[in-house]
Structure 1
Amino acid sequence: MTKKSIRKTFRFLVMIALFASCEKVIQVDLNSKDPQIVIEAEVTDDISTPQTVKITKSVNISDGETFSIVNGASVILNDNFGNNVTLTETSPGIYQNSGLQGVPGRIYYLTINVAGITYTSVCEMPQSVQLDTIIVNHSSGGGPGGGGPSGPGNGNSNRAESLTPVFQDPIGRGNYYKFKFQKDNETSTSLFLFSDEVVDGGVNNRSLRAGNISLNKEDTIRVIMMCIDKAVYKYFYGISANGNGPNASATPANPVSNITGGALGYFSAYSARTKSIKIE
């Protein structure tokens, strides 16, 4: 492989930034006569985060909205160690439970029943990867432009350009990562994906821009690194192909779901590591 093609492939896989919220990025045929169930389900080993399932339904665009809330669903989560919990609807369309602790290496089974129709999915939680530190990257010059650690910046010393999550990717291909930023009560609407399909077993030095979150001096930013499985990675990568990411497509299509039964969406069992850093 030539250096040019390596750089092209590396750049292609390094970062996928979607400047739309995760609640709006699922592409559906809004003019379809048949509404479709949309499931966004997550199980994590982060003890501060309850296991959460969001269920909506796509509706005809002529009805004046794109998604409607699904109430009264049966949502059951269990693992391969015999643990079983029923998620409670804590707010319209949101089902949660904190009784089942996510454990890396375990297999999780999701069963949802909506109006007599059953949807199922299976996902194994990847082993966690240590998030060592976060590097703050300031602009390197005073000229106009987006800048970054190696390019022209906006000359504003009170803001950072990007953050670099430093972690050691385990040797052996097949590690997939998703990142998000939080500041106060605000969560980044950009979606960042990393993969070791091109560069395996190295220390990450790839930076992330925070999208809608400004990185101002004295701000404290929380970075969440999620280890996800390949099916979930492919799902979100498929979303980027339908949006304004580097793999944007002129003919949008629904990303491949890992949920059976005809629903759109995804089920992700992920291990998470977090770091907070103050912008100096």
Structure 2
Amino acid sequence: MMKTYNQNLPVNFIVMIVTVLLISIVMLNSCTKVVDIKVGNDTDKLVIEGMVIDTAGSQSVKLTTNVPFSNSNTYPPVTGAIVSVNDGNGSTYNYIEGPSGIYTSPAFVAKAGNNYTMHVLVNGTDYTASSRMPELVVLDSLSSKVSPFDSKQREVTVYYKDPAGKANYYRFVMFLNGVQVKAVFVFNDDFNDGKKVSIDLSDDDTDMFSGDKVTVEMQCIDKSIFTYWNTLMQQGGSGPGGGVTPSNPPTNISPSVLGYFSAHTSQKKSMVLK
């Protein structure tokens, strides 16, 4: 016997079925749609990367121009600039160029609490930036452990004691077998003021295995530099010279250019991953 179906379905039910089908079609089409992310391509702009640190050796300012986001890591140097740094206590250090685009000072050791001001004169424009060096927070130690995502890979953990009662900002720079890892690691003490802190440093694009040598530099940075690097970290960026980012981070240099000037402490520890 041939099976028959009720032809008198409620109109609301039919409308509901049609609506579900239409939504399904739209969702299927959206799955195949190509999303075009537009990345800025404003190139040939001045990039200033300046820093003073609290360890012996030459202080440096690097001047380059930026390149398209997809280009290789080759950045044209900016030569012939006049560069100096004032320590806020009456001493000015004039920098000397060499090699091209790298300007260094006679050796001086920057001190915590001093407010340092950089001047860079390029093509008639005087670019200035100030940064106050924070007090040193000691990097206690490093350890390594098995990655929770891959038993063959390792993660690095840093340990330090955050001082209580004041805002502190930190940047960590990691080197794997002598090569700097591109990932940006910055943190504040909003949730661990005055506590013993342990932070895992891991990067999805970096493979670390037992036997690799890792060096970690801990920098105590001021708030403006934290804002700069935190913006880059949120974007997944790697630094001011790394092409044009989707949104260039806020700089402390005036007039505004790409880059930063940072007065920060610097301490390093190394270990072989187990």
TM-score, length-normalised on structure 1? 0.73
Q: Does residue 1:40 correspond to 2:49, yes or no?
A: yes
TM superposition shift of 1:258 = 0.4
| Higher gyration radius (CA) | 2
1:178 is paired with a residue whose SS is strand
Q: Deviations over 1:15-63 (max 9, x none)?
A: xxxxxxxxxxxxx94347xx53221111111225x311111234689xx
**Contact 2:96–2:104 under 8 Å retained in 1:** yes
**Contact 1:84–1:100 under 8 Å retained in 2:** no
**Aligned-partner Cα distance in 1 for 2:95–2:65:** 19
TM superposition shift of 1:254 = 2.1
Q: Does residue 1:257 correspond to 2:266, yes or no?
A: no
- The count of aligned residue pairs is 229
2:265 is paired with a residue whose SS is strand
Gaps of 5+ in 2: 1-38, 239-244
Q: Deviations over 1:125-168 (max 9, x none)?
A: 011101111121124xxxxxxx1xxxxx4333xx4x21111100
**Contact 1:111–1:121 under 8 Å retained in 2:** yes
TM superposition shift of 1:210 = 5.3
Give the superposed CA RMSD. 2.8
Report % sequence identity: 32
**Aligned-partner Cα distance in 2 for 1:96–1:42:** 10
Amino acid at match of 2:55: D
**Contact 1:36–1:57 under 8 Å retained in 2:** yes
The answer for the alignment partner of 2:110 in structure 1 is: 102
Pair 169,226 (structure 1): closer, same or farther in 2 beyond 3 Å: same
Compare 180-189 and 65-74 and name the one that shifted more. 65-74
TM superposition shift of 1:183 = 3.5
TM superposition shift of 1:212 = 5.4
Q: Deviations over 1:223-260 (max 9, x none)?
A: 11000000000011222344469xxxxx9322111011
Gaps of 5+ in 1: 1-27, 140-146, 148-152, 246-250
The answer for the alignment partner of 2:194 in structure 1 is: 201
Compare 126-135 and 253-262 and name the one that shifted more. 253-262
Q: Does residue 1:117 correspond to 2:125, yes or no?
A: yes
TM-score, length-normalised on structure 2? 0.74
Aligned pair partner of 1:154 in 121, 127, 150: 150
